[in-house]
Amino acid sequence: MPIRQNPILPGFNPDPSICRVGEDYYIATSTFEWFPGVQIHHSKDLANWALLTRPLTRKSQLDMRGNPDSCGIWAPCLTHDGEKFWLVYTDVKRKDGNFKDAHNYIVTSDEITGPWSDPIYVNSSGFDPSLFHDDDGKKWFINMLWDHREGYHRFAGIALQEFDAVAGTLVGERKNIFKGSPLKLVEGPHLYKRDGWYYLLTAEGGTGYEHAATLARSRNIDGPYELHPDMYLVTAKDNPLNPLQRAGHGDIVETPDGQTYLVHLTGRPTTQKRRCVLGRETALQKCEWRADGWLYLVGGTNLPASEVDVPGTYDQAGFDAERRYDFKGELPIDFQWLRTPEPERIFRLEGGKLILIGRESIGSWFEQALVARRQTHFDFEAETEVSFEPRDEREMAGLTGYYGRYNFHYLHLTADPDGQRELNIFSSVVSHPDGKLTYWIDPVPVGVGPVRMKMRVENSALQYFYAQGSDDWQKIGPELDASILSDECGGHAEHGSFTGAFVGMAAQDLNGTAREAGFSHFVYRPL
């Protein structure tokens, strides 16, 4: 079989849930505060994956204004019951302190591309929900239980309760069926049934470098569950030099010819700082059922492999090709924005340009005009051209490398108090909890007309450039540390920061007059 390099979904695609319908495979991943919610990729061969849709597109389904960084959509679960698709997700409104305000919903669709229904509210007892369709027709809702009390473990176990699909509500008794292994922090549950056994796959150890996927089984759906002979189906926690780290949170799928694969979360740290700039990604492992009735990774170890045998041949050249985006018609699918379900308040496409409507400051948790795509390569260039007439220093537009409120770099066109246009660069450099800015240069005056902007990232060094008209690119500012755009540098490090690096266009009007900036194109060029 052909070899595919891991990860199969590079760049900020965490918490994968996989579903096969006939010859088609679908993977749903978390999107956190980025809108629209939930990414669904499609494949026919497990090798080549294309972003197909984001189902949570309207206010009735998702409104994340005010959600802190790394809240929003956690760990969706995508299933098909033979009739329609079911998508289960959490909208997390708070993650700090003793409490987690985590609301769980279900949407459905006859087709993967929609239309998707308005949500059914299910519960708020904990996050990482999933739905299991038993062979007797019953449906079971499972999620981790959160315990806010002092003296008790926050990750209290895996809750199971029957879901009445007709009434759209939970029925019967809620049971705590599994409290995890000694690694603790049990979450991310998925249920399966095989040869009369119920198998429960969970994530444990937190989503940092101690992460693991744990497998258990029982003859009864409500337990008791016994642990796998190796306890963990996949983990890199004891192998710090393995290229794939932070391995855990996964899901299982079977091919039409009976082969079994595991998709799972992973991260690829760079440099001795061990920062995963591309965020938490999705990897694939081939598995086998052995005579003892347990699932194992092929190869005799639970260490995630960098290569996997798959049915198809991967198009590496296609992945590494330059992406040139114009802004005619609809916003290209690679781009997202932050939190708001009312995109018309922050952007529109007009006259072949992306028009950003200046709103709140960069890093706002409510309404900021920032449209960006994922960084999917360690080394790349991104460039754009902005037309903007700022009136003072409170109006800005430009090119940003962005992780969240406390971690970003921003080259922007602005003006001095007299209205003279100038370029400046500031960053928020691992600034939690203060959110203070670091300015890198004295402002650079620029003449009339559009300004071209470019950023180059090589070996975690970020360099900005600018130009006007037919002029050659000029460096502006020093080399900056691109590795700060990582979970490890987020507000709460890898156990509380969950997204990944984005690159994109932004505009702010702190005067509150909605000053507009036009972007003619965007280029993403792997190096």
> So which residues are the catalytic ones?
367
Query: Which CB contacts under 8 angstroms, 24+ apart, belong to 110-117?
Result: 110/83, 110/84, 110/85, 111/85, 112/21, 112/24, 112/26, 112/40, 112/42, 112/52, 112/53, 112/85, 113/52, 113/53, 114/53, 114/55, 116/55, 116/56, 116/57, 116/61, 116/87
Say which residue the tokens 């450099």 belong to: 429
Residues 6+ apart with CB under 8 A from 77: 17, 28, 86, 87, 88, 89, 129, 130, 131, 190, 251
User: Residue 283, class by beta-carbon neighbours within 10 Å (0-12 exposed, 13-18 middle, 19+ buried)?
Assistant: buried
State CA 33 to chain mean position distance: 9
Count of CB atoms situated within 10 Å of the CB of 375:
27
CA–CA separation, 212 vs 235, rounded Å? 4
CA–CA separation, 369 vs 365, rounded Å? 11
HEC profile of 276-320: CCCCCEEEEEEEEECCCCCEEECCCCCCCCCEEECCCCCCHHHHC
Say which residue the tokens 């985590």 belong to: 102
